Structure 1
């Protein structure tokens, strides 16, 4: 299959520190799944302890997978999610991004070859 024939998955990635584990976070957790299910979202990483190999990452990483980055962005902007987002944002230091994954069959060597060609061209 040609990599241009597939739509890369999308991801919502959250990084949380200093989480106040009180009733607001509990409510957020009770309600969040219902907000991403209509967009095809599913948990990939949640409340998993990580091992840091380089640098410092003292908080928690959360990853929700979506069929496309458009679906991830639509979920984040949706009214149901925006209604509960303050439950998290007001009770944790957090960063949330949406990002496109790579297409099926992606190879870093292909990217390196394109970069090498551009470098030679000047």
Structure 2
């Protein structure tokens, strides 16, 4: 089973003690689901388009069920307003791909569904 990820694009930050408390408490909400930070912060190099803000990427090795369970957990929901009241952002949960992922197979599948190669 491939890992799943929680990806947050955070912007419009305003410094606040609640955000520090959120940071102090988030790892304890991740631990039961084996979640770990992969990316956390401002160290971005934008090579296409625009990306105002920062990015956070959290990996859940157990897959999407663990990512969903973490986000819905009472422990995380309890601290979530500490962030959302002071930082705007978009958050998604996404399935990862396994180590044998081949984009060529994805292209073949798309082409067989639509010979022009474009969805209508």
Relative to the length of structure 1, the TM-score reads 0.89
Counterpart mapping for 1:39-50 below 5 A: 39-50=33-44
Q: CA separation in 2, counterparts of 1:20 and 1:37?
A: 27
1:14-72 Cα shifts (integer Å, max 9, x gaps):
11112122201000000000001110100100114101111111110000000201101
How many residues get paired?
Answer: 114
| Cα pair 2:2 2:95 within 8 Å, conserved | yes
Q: Tell me what 1:27 maps to.
A: 21
- Give the match for residue 112 of structure 1: 107
Q: Which structure carries more helix by proportion?
A: 1
Contiguous gaps of at least 5 residues in structure 1: 1-6
Query: Is residue 94 from structure 1 mapped to residue 89 from structure 2 by the alignment?
Result: yes
Q: Following the alignment from structure 1 to structure 2, what is the Cα–Cα distance between the partners of residues 21 and 29?
A: 13
User: Which stretches of structure 1, 4 residues or more, deviate above 6 A after TM superposition?
Assistant: none
Displacement of 1:97 after TM fit? 1.0
Show the counterpart of 1:18.
Answer: 12
Unaligned runs of 5+ in 2: 116-120
Q: CA deviation at 1:118?
A: 2.2
SS at match of 1:104: coil
Separation (CA, whole Å) in 2 of partners of 1:81 and 1:118: 40
What are the equivalent positions in structure 2 for 1:61-80 lying under 5 Å apart? Answer: 61-67=55-61, 68-80=63-75
Task: Please provide the CA RMSD for this pair.
Answer: 1.0
